[in-house]
Structures are given as C-alpha cells and as structure tokens.
Structure 1
Amino acid sequence: MAGFPEDYEICASELINLWIVEGFFKHLDESKSSEEEGEDCLEDFVKRSLVLVANRKFDGKIKSFSLHDIVREFCIRQGAKEKEKNILLKTYTLSLVTDFVWSRRMVKMTTNIKKLGICYSKEKFDLDSRYRLNNLKYLCRLEKLKLEMNGDFSFRELLLEFELDMRGGFSLRGLNFPLQLRKLTLSGWRLSWSDMTTIGSLPSLQVLKLRNFACYGTHWETTEGEFRELRLLLIEQSNLRYWGTEASHFPRLERLILHQCDLNLIPSNIGDIPTLKLIEVDDMPRDLLASAKSIEEKRRNSGNDSFQVRVKRS
C-alpha cells in the first residue's frame, strides 16, 4: 500500500486486485471468492483503525479509503526491505479475475505477466470505461490472453440485442493488443468483422478462439498478410454464414474447429493450406459437413493420408 501517494483516496477494488495478483488469498473459506476475502480483510483493517473509510457503496461495502500517516510510513519502511523480493513484479500468470481495472499503475506493477485471464460482466462493462483495456498493449511480455464477457443471456439473445443496438456493442475498436501475443480467446464479445483485421495483424498470434460472439454482418472476407502465424482457429456459436478466404491468408493453419455456426460451406481453398491437419465440425448442418468431407477427399486423392475430418455429434 506504500505505492499510493500520501493522502491519496485508494480505490478498494484496485487494491484488492493487487492482492489477488500477489496471491495473498489461499481460499481457506471455499464459500468465498478472492474479492470477498479482500473485502473482509479491508473491514478488518477498519476495525483495527489501520485505514480510514472515505466512501461506501450502496450495499455498505468499502468503495474507497485512505491510510493513517503512521501506517503509510510503516508500509514504506517494509517496502524498502522487500524491494528485491517484490512478488507482484515476478508474477507470470494471472488466472481469470473479475472486473479488473487496467490503470497505468496496475500495468507498471505487472510488467512480467505472460498469461492473463479477465472476466467482465455484461451489465457493468463499457469499453471506454474505467476498466481501461486499451492499456493492455503496454504488457510487453504478455503471450496468452483470455477475455470473457459474462451475463445472463443466450447467444441468440446476444445476437438480437447486438442487431437492435449497435451503439451498445462491445466492439474491439480502440482496443490494442500486445504485439507479442501468441494465444487469444474472446468469449461473449460482440464484434464487427472489421475488428478481425486488428486481430489478424498480430504478428505472433498462433491460437485464436472465438466463442459465443455475434458479429455485425454475416460475411467474413480475409485479406492477404493477416494471420501469418496462426496454427489453430476455433469459431463457436457464431452468426458467420459466408467466409471468403484464400489458402495464402492462413499459410500455417493446422487445425480449424467450427461448432454451432451458421456457416453454409467451408471454402474449398482451405484444403489447399499445406500445413492443415484437421477440420472439426458438427454433424449439422449437413452442407457444412459435406464441404469438410469434400476437402478430406481432395486431400486423400492428392496423397495426404494424415489429414482428418473430425465430426462432433449434436
């Protein structure tokens, strides 16, 4: 806590997120989340007169607080002793955390992180809000990123809402990813196909998983020079119907997985990708499965017996 300026009003959720990153909570009480353990810890500090409550939320939980001068001085002294053992700066993995705020301060304190998972609630989220996801681009060592959008809605409800109110969508415009990112999972997000250009331009991206997402328009046209290193592409629960692409647009693709999609046909030139080893599809719709089998037959006729079509039963 010594990292905060003197007389600074500290956001409780920001400090709790820092504690979670540092692994302070061991879930001794399995009925409580890490966030709830952090809230209990803060309340304990208040009872011990170590911190001063500045604001509380409508439900009575601490929203912000400040430190007693004596407590801050103690933290500074202890911080100096532990400077070389700073756990936060040595953190490499941060599992799925909820409603994480990526302030510049937080980015500076997690510079070594390589694997990151964040979950946001549909009800609270706004891309341009206090969550500051645009600052993710400063995580210069981040290789694996998972962004989840949770809410009480089905994929079809999400798609309908998306079509009715584009302005309220969770578009990726304005969100820049670290260039060294190798694995990206987006779950529950609303996209436009133009956003895929941002993703496709990531020079090191090898794995892309798109789950439960709705897109503006149903036609995806890829372009030359994108997805140069992509090995695995998964599209699950999507309104994608038409896919225009060339084998040269995915020159290193090895696995293509399509589940619960509205896609009519897999482009036949996907079969011309020399590195492709597997296509996995549902057994319905039949036209999609038939196009996958056609690619398989073409590969077998060319002498490539290692290629496989895997069928997932509905």
Structure 2
Amino acid sequence: MAEEFVPQIDGKSFEDVAEDYLTDLIGRSLVMVAKKRSNGSVKVCHVHDLLLEYCKRKAEEENFFELIYKEDKHTLCDDLDDILESTYSLSPEELYTRHTQRRLCIYSQRESFLVKSRPSGPQLRSLLFFDINDKSLTKPYDISPICLALRGEVCLPYTLSRLRHLHVDARAVFGCDGWNLIQLENLQTISTPALIYNKDHAMDPNEVMRRLPNLRKLRCISVDSEDCCHFPSLECVSRLESLKILHYGQSFSSCKFNFPSNLKRLTLPKFQLPWTEISRIGSLPHLEVLKLLARAFEGVQWDMKDGEFLKLRFLKLDSLNIEQWNISSDCLPSLEHLVLQSCKKLKEFPSCLGDVSTLHSVELHWCSRSSVNSIISIQEDEGFKVHVYPREFDS
C-alpha cells in the first residue's frame, strides 16, 4: 500500500484489496501461512528463502529498503556515529541524494540517530523506528509515511496526515503537545498506546479518539487515574471493527462503557466487569470473535439471554472464575470454535451446546476433569471435535 502496488477499487479499502492479493500469493505457494487468526484469516506469513533473497536483492538494486540495526547497542552507537559523521558533513543536496530509500527501518537511540540525521525525503513512505532506551520521541519527521512504528512518548506532527498504520510500543503515550493541528482521517490501525487519564502526563484519551474518525483496528492499554476508573469513549470511531483493550486499574463495576455497533472482534482482559454487563457485548450485531481473558468478568454465574451473540463464530474464555454457565436455546447459533483455558472452577458445560449445529471444535486447556467429562458426554451425540490439553486429562 505504501508503494502504491495496491490500486483503489470502489467499495473496498486498500487493506481489503491487499488481503485479496495476499490470498492469491498464498494460493500460488509464493507465500506460506505461519499462523491464522481466530476467524480463519491470515495473521503471520513468510516466504521461501529463495524468494526472500531475491526480494532483498531487488530492494537493494532499486533503493527500496534500508535496514540499520545492531543487537549490541554499544557497538551500534559507534557504527552510527561513523555513519552520521560522514552523512552530517554533506551538503543539503548530497544529504538529499543519500536518503533515497523508500522504506527505512532504524533500531537506535533517538539522540544518536534521529536528532542528528533527521531522516527525510519525499520518496520515504514507510519509516520504522525502534528506540533502545529513550522514552521521549518528540522530533517531527519531514515525511508523510504510510506506516510508522514508535516507542516512548508520541507527538505526531501535522505532516503525518496521510498515516494509515501506527504502532507504538513499550506503553507509549500521546503527548499533550503536537496534536493541535492534526486530524488523522486516513489512520486505519493503531496499537498499542497507553490511554492514561491524567492531564499532567498525556492527552485526554477521548480527545485522541476524536482525532481518528476512520479507525478500523485499535489495540490499547487503559490506565485509570488515581480517583476513578474510565473507559475510552468510542462513539466517534463508528467504523471500528477490531478492539483489544487491556485495563490497569480499578474494577469497572460502576463505570459506563460502550462499543461501536460495527465491531467484529473484541478482546477484553482484566476489566473485572460483573456478568450482568455482558449483554452490552452480546447485543453487538456484527460481533464474530470474542475473547474474555484474565478476569475480564467477575462472578460465578453467566446467564446468556435470548437473542445474544447471534453472529459470534469464535469464543475464548481464559482465566475466569465462572462456576456455572447457562445458555438459552437460541444463543450462539453461529458458533464454530470454543476455547476454554484455566477456567478451573467450571464443572459442567451447558447441554444446549449440543444444539449448536455450526460448532466444529471445542478446546480445553488446563480445565477441570469434570468439565472435560461434561463436554465429551455432549460430543458423543454431536459431530464436533474435542481437544484436551494436557493430554492426561483426556482419559
């Protein structure tokens, strides 16, 4: 997409068209699938060694990609100093011709590279920067890339208005400065910033969401203020399809939360919500994948109500203290895969699971022996597969 290999097709986003191309390459055995998502789409892929070497050679010939990387950060700084000394002494014209690559990946200290070299140029479309140990990254880049990977404190300049994919790491936060001019209307995905509700340290997360009107995928960390809990306001990101939000702070038992109706994938860890609030999620009309992890909900009984989770295809429950699970006859009519992990207090599966004709498989990881016996007894009358881990539980 950054290289404009993917054409604009009416009714489809660049990302959807690119996925079609990837599927074609997989079908021709040029790309191999290494890992799939819970909904069956490709998550990780790789290419054969011969194809990789060919791509690297072509990238070098056409000034397509440059990687500056060293695992030993002490050696790295020495090497960078040598590079920068020769680069920084060039005239502006010579410096411009030196930075002709269209994709640049940097693993460095900010002071030893970015501040001195200021990587820029109209041909640079994709920039990946991995900071070794500095926690502030406030120098604006003179580029409008399609992809950007950052660590530390993030202050995006207005020149990044074309940005489509942003990844920040190490619990980076959005700084208060540098956002007064920017509206990222093209941004499609963002991961994994810390949304901190503290005016002295970071920008208001609700204001961040208002700057991202066309966001489709969000992975983030929600950090409470000292006095109360918060849930990001998501009304303005109505196109959001995938959400993974990790919570650090108080229980959400008294806190309002909401999700966009267009949501298809939802992952919630550590929210400690009461099961009475699950209907807010169950009523989402397009939800296909749900993962409730690490005390996402608190309580011993989950009662699924009529008409909930009508489109859900994949459900994962991990490290919950649920003891009793009740399902009405018309819940989960589209469920294909069910995964339970470390739900050791659950003794019995609801018998209504046997009435779900779409169910293909059930996985149990470190669950109670009685729950294993329960799902096996249901399976005997149905056609779905049961996988039990560790194996000695399946006896």
Q: Same fold (TM over 0.5)?
A: yes
Instruction: Specify which of 183, 188, 192 is matched with residue 92 of structure 1.
Output: 188
Aligned counterparts, 1:212-223, within 5 A = 212-213=294-295, 215-223=297-305
Does 2:364 correspond to 1:281? yes
Give matches, 1:29-48, under 5 Å. Answer: 29-32=131-134, 36-38=135-137
Q: Displacement, 1:268?
A: 1.5
Match of 1:198 in 2: 280
CA distance in 2, matches of 1:172, 1:186: 17
Task: Decide whether aligned partners of structure 1 residues 229 and 214 sit closer, same or farther in structure 2, where only a CA change above 3 A counts.
Answer: closer
**Structure 1 partner of 2:269:** 187
User: How many Å separate the matches in 2 of 1:31 and 1:231?
Assistant: 41
Q: Distance in 1 between matches of 2:304 and 2:126?
A: 45
Pairing partner for 1:146 from 226, 239, 244? 244
Q: Which residue pairs with 1:244 in the alignment? A: 326
1:137 matches 2:235: yes
Shift of residue 120 of structure 1? 2.7
Q: Which amino acid aligns with 1:187?
A: P
Match of 2:379 among 296, 300, 303: 296
Q: How does 1:1-314 map to 2 (within 5 A)?
A: 26-32=128-134, 36-38=135-137, 88-99=184-195, 103=205, 105-121=207-223, 126-128=228-230, 133=232, 135-150=233-248, 168-171=250-253, 173-213=255-295, 215-261=297-343, 262-282=345-365, 284-299=367-382, 304=383, 307-313=384-390
Q: CA deviation at 1:176?
A: 1.0
Deviation at 1:308, TM superposition (A): 0.6
What is the SS of the residue equivalent to 2:137?
helix
| Distance 1:213-1:104 versus aligned 2 partners, 3 A rule | closer
Q: Paired residue for 1:157? A: none
| 8 Å CA contact 1:172, 1:195 repeated in 2 | no
Match of 1:110, as an amino acid?
Answer: L
Unaligned segments of structure 2, at least 5 residues: 1-124, 141-174, 197-202
1:195 Cα offset (Å): 1.1
CA distances 1:258-290 after superposition (whole Å, capped 9, x unpaired)? 111121111121111010111111354110000
- Residue in 1 aligned with 2:102? none
Counterparts of 1:114 and 1:172 in 2: how far apart (Å)? 28
How high is the TM-score relative to the length of structure 2?
0.52
Q: Structure 1 residues 66, 297: closer, same or farther in 2, change over 3 A?
A: closer
Structure 1 150/27 Cα, relative in aligned 2: closer, same or farther at 3 Å?
farther
The structure-2 alpha-carbon separation of the partners of 1:197 and 1:189, relative to structure 1 and needing over 3 Å to count, comes to same
Structure 1 unaligned residues grouped into runs of 5+: 1-22, 42-62, 80-85, 152-167
- The 2-side partners of 1:219 and 1:206 are apart by 23
Structure 2 equivalent of residue 161 of structure 1: none
Q: Distance in 2 between matches of 1:191 and 1:213?
A: 8
Match of 2:27? none
Partners of 1:208 and 1:293 in 2: CA distance: 23
Distance in 1 of aligned mates of 2:320 and 2:242: 22
Q: Shift in Å at residue 104 of structure 1?
A: 5.2
Taking only the aligned residue pairs, the percentage that are identical comes to 30
* Number of equivalent positions: 227
In 1, Cα distance between equivalents of 2:329 and 2:193: 37
Contact 1:126 1:170 in 2 (8 A): no
Cα gap change, 1:285 to 1:115, in 2 (>3 Å): same
Contact 1:187 1:212 survives alignment (8 Å): yes
TM-aligned CA distance change 1:271 to 1:226, over 3 Å: same
Structure 1 counterpart SS, 2:378: helix
Write the distance in 2 (CA, Å) between the matches of 1:98 and 1:215: 21
CA-atom RMSD, angstroms? 3.1
2:354 maps to amino acid: G
- Give the match's secondary structure for 2:334: coil
Shift of 1:236: 0.2
Deviations 1:206-250 (A, max 9, x none): 111011016443111111011111111100000000011134111
Structure 2 SS opposite 1:113: coil
The CA distance in 1 between the partners of 2:319 and 2:227, in whole Å, is 21
Deviation of 1:97 (Å) = 1.0
User: Does the Cα contact within 8 Å between 1:236 and 1:259 map onto a contact in 2?
Assistant: yes
Q: Is the partner of 2:330 in helix, strand or coil? A: helix
